[in-house]
Structure 1
Amino acid sequence: MIPQEIAQTIIDPKAYADGVRVDDAFARLRKDMPFAQAHPEGFDPFWVVTKHADILAVERQNELFHNGDRATTLTPIEVDRKVREMMGGSPHLVRSLVQMDNPDHFAYRKLTQSWFMPQNLKKLEARIREIAKGFIDRMADMGGNCDFARDVAFLYPLHVIMEVLGVPESDEPRMLKLTQELFGSADPDLNRNRAEIADADAALAQIGATVGEFIEYFNAMTEDRRACPRDDLASVIANGQIGDQPLGHLEAMSYYIIAATAGHDTTSNTTAGGLWALAENPGEFAKLKSDASLIPSYLEESIRWVTPVKHFMRSAAADTEMHGQKIAKGDWMMLSYPSGNRDEDVFEDPFAFRVDRSPNKHVAFGYGAHVCLGQHLGRMEMRILWEELLPRLEALELAGAPKRMEANFVCGPKSVPISYRMH
């Protein structure tokens, strides 16, 4: 059993905001208890999967380790009970690809998969480059000081995915606010009430209100796209069919919500965190400046470094054994992606940021059937931004202490103040 103090650290949103505390906790687990059970207060016990190889092994076996049977993110007992009451026994407030197992997962994924394949994304490249240049011009006009997270990194991927989805530009601030409320529900700077969360009722009320606002928005969009379909992702979801049936209402709404949140937030976090790392490592910045062919490896290192999605939960569909431990049917497991991405057996000097790291087999996008659907779009957005920004960025340093959000599920920088020189 994992020592209580470590178990509390790896679930604590403030430990992820701090960064060092959670890294130390996972480093201890990888070394001494790579596959062990945590019993933090207020939560059902769960196995903590900290090693890269074990994360891949779980993600590879979709029939044995399910997404849908229990909550897919770490959820307190009390919140889980209330969600099941609200949702007629289901542990899920939304039912997106993340909460599905086969055959549903395969059928729903197929619906939009072609939209996100590299050959299809090529036709977006020129438009994305135009959007990127607009943000870089804006950065150049800011007089050498900005908050890179708030002024560029949050807004650029948001604009791209909203255009793909078909959300008008005037609604982008609302979509950003709702995304931050959803993923930052534990962060008093970002959550719906802008306050510390008091208890399970308060937590659920806030998240429920945010999900409700998303649903209201996308209900109207569905009606519009059924009446007048366009060449956008919203029309695919609104008019999509599984077998010969339209998508269920909860599934359709969940599809929109995951596209409208995960579709930009993870890319934003990686972009902001990647620049933060360059500002802290002037030697790496110089290396990247002098060799544009390193942009792809810098990108992968940024993704590994930030690992915006901190965990997903799985549950065992049958009794099994792993890492010499007996796992019972129904046991809950936490796949810790930041731990896998600092695994000393896989990454040389894992706590160093290296723009030329190769190979870089990070697990930040997941693996196997549930690998991130939008990974190619995210990589393309980041590649284009850096291709346009790096040649113009002559000097870069932090202009204050960056801050991460308080969150144990999706977490990245919320502020990266920089001073810089551009031409």
Structure 2
Amino acid sequence: MATTAFLAEHLVDPEVHASGDPHALWSWMRANDPVSWQPPGELPGFWSLTRYEDIRAVYRDPHTFSSARGVLLRPARLGADPGGGMTLALTDPPRHKQLRALMADWFSTRAVRDLEDHIRAACRAVLARVAGQGECDAVHDIAGRLSMYVIGRIIGLPEKDHELLVRWTDEAFEAGVSLAAHQELMRYFIDLMDQRMAEPTDDLLSSLVTGTADGELLAEEEILFNLENLVGATENGRLALAGGLLAFLDHPDQWRRLQRDRRLMPAAIEEILRWTSSATHSMRTATETAVIRGRRIEKGDRVVLWIPSGNRDEDVFEDPFRFDIGRTPNRHLALASGEHFCIGSTLARAELRILLEQLLDEVGPVEPAGPVARLRSIAVGGPETLPVRIAARHGDAALPAEA
């Protein structure tokens, strides 16, 4: 691994993230070129940040590093992100704070606590569906289905339609396309939005339909983009759930450790989030000239934050390539930082905790059932498929078998 030019070619290759070793690239960059320019090609030129402190500083400075022009790398031929300036992810203060206020009550600690019985019931239903049936795919059949059941409930989808949401989002995620490009899903959201405009109920969609920002109702396009943003964000959640299960299958000693001492559960959840780092990158655009580690970032330059690299930074995490459910402190960046700290952070932790509790207490052993395929993507990372078998047994802890 000789030059940054080599990295420029390989770091944005989805195949490297699927079957190569992106952590080897990031490790080299942290040590040798932590703020490096990646020249334009199919993607526009951008600065790569790989050190924890630099990533955190950019996250916490929305004035200098804007989200409004997009937070993911896009081929230059596609132009700007169509949701720019309209969604929670693609706005800066003060608009960001106004949109966040419309949704925050649905993701607060109290709201998630009130939702726990539903999450637990959804988890039981998902696990009952796969237990004893032979092989299943933990990404789609467990993590994906659980994520969609929960976000569907929060948005306000009738329970009978949750499986539709599972199918449509699976189709979009597998095809690697935006949810907005899925016509059936968008038509469904439009119809549901029209229903809530006519008769609001007690759900997040009604909050978007009836709430205001800058004293005005949101445009219908803004509501749809924010729905897409909320549902799309669950891909990170399901990858964290599936990636956590994979981590325990790969490290059965840590599973046994959790079985012996449930007090480790909060630390185990944080370690899963750090270890999986399912959001591979987040992008910002400089609104003015800035200097990072002596490198001059010009106004208009794109700055890409490589989250898994920050979460393996040797200056911050002792033995960062060790999966350790007792790790503390663990101030990872998997849920971002600053203004854009994940609005669903409390919900994500609750889903992880409840799934682990169910696996420990209510099902039989979880065993690997085939090779794991990783996602071919530079936007999100984790298992694309995770074949497992779950025995239909109650009472004993579900110990993963040795991989």
TM-score in terms of structure 2 length: 0.91
Cα distance change of structure 1 residues 420 and 244 upon mapping to structure 2, 3 Å threshold:
closer
Work out whether residues 288 and 298 of structure 2, in 8 Å CA contact, stay in contact via their aligned partners in 1.
Answer: yes
| Equivalent in the alignment of 2:397 | none
Equivalence for 1:11:
12
Which one is further off, 39-48 or 230-239?
Answer: 39-48
1:133 Cα offset (Å): 2.0
Where structure 2 has 5 or more consecutive residues not aligned to the other structure, the ranges are: 395-403
Partner of 1:201: none
Could you tell me the percent identity over the aligned residues? Answer: 32
Q: Structure 2 counterpart of 1:47, which letter? A: W
Q: Is 1:237–1:256's contact at 8 Å kept on the other side of the alignment?
A: no
Q: CA deviation at 1:67?
A: 0.9
Q: Which of 85, 91, 115 lines up with 1:124 in the alignment?
A: 115
Give the aligned CA root-mean-square deviation in angstroms: 2.1
Q: Does residue 1:41 correspond to 2:41, yes or no?
A: yes
User: Does 2:143 match 1:153?
Assistant: yes
**Superposed counterparts of 1:10-409, under 5 Å:** 10-18=11-19, 20-68=20-68, 70-80=69-79, 84=80, 91-93=81-83, 95-143=86-134, 145-182=135-172, 184=173, 190-191=174-175, 207=178, 210=181, 212-262=183-233, 264-393=234-363, 395-409=365-379
Q: Distance in 2 between matches of 1:409 and 1:274?
A: 19
Q: Which residue of 2 aligns with 1:414?
A: 384
Task: Find the residue that maps to 1:98 and give its secondary structure.
Answer: coil
SS of equivalent residue, structure 2 residue 282:
strand
How many residues align? The count is 391
Output the CA distance in 2 between the equivalents of 1:356 and 1:7: 36
The worse-fitting range, judged by mean Cα deviation, of 404-413 and 281-290 is: 404-413
Asked whether the equivalents of residues 318 and 329 of structure 1 are also in contact (C-alpha less than 8 Å), the reply is yes
Tell me the CA shift for residue 230 of structure 1. 1.2
Over residues 334-353 of structure 1, what are the superposed CA-to-partner deviations in whole Å (9 max), with x where a residue is unaligned? 01101111111111111121
Change (3 A) 1:9 1:172: farther
1:199 match: none
Structure 1 SS opposite 2:133: coil
- For 1:97, the aligned partner's letter is L
- Give the whole-Å Cα distance in 1 for the aligned partners of 2:293 and 2:168: 40
Give the aligned residue type for 1:5. Answer: F
Q: Which amino acid aligns with 1:7?
A: A
Q: What SS does structure 1 have at the residue aligned with 2:388?
A: strand
> Which deviations, in whole Å up to 9, do the C-alpha atoms of 1:215-257 show, x marking residues without a partner?
3222211110111211111111122211331102221111111
1 CA distance for matches of 2:358 and 2:162? 23
State the one-letter code of the partner of 1:112.
M
Distance 1:209 1:110 in 2: 24
- Local SS of the residue matching 1:387: helix
In the TM superposition, residue 393 of structure 1 has moved relative to its aligned partner by: 4.8
**CA distance in structure 1 between the aligned counterparts of 2:166 and 2:192, rounded to whole angstroms:** 17
Distance 1:209-1:166 versus aligned 2 partners, 3 A rule: closer
How far residue 59 of structure 1 moved from its aligned partner, in angstroms, is 0.9
Unaligned runs of 5+ in 1: 85-90, 185-189, 193-205
Asked whether the 8 Å contact 2:169–2:179 carries over to 1, the reply is no
- Displacement of 1:397 in angstroms is 3.2
Kindly provide the amino acid, as one letter, of the partner of residue 48 in structure 1.
Answer: S
The change in CA–CA distance for 1:172 and 1:210 in structure 2 (over 3 A counts) is farther
Please give the alpha-carbon distance, in whole angstroms, between the structure 2 residues aligned to 1:146 and 1:252.
35
Once the two structures are TM-superposed, the CA of residue 148 in structure 1 deviates from its matched residue by 1.9
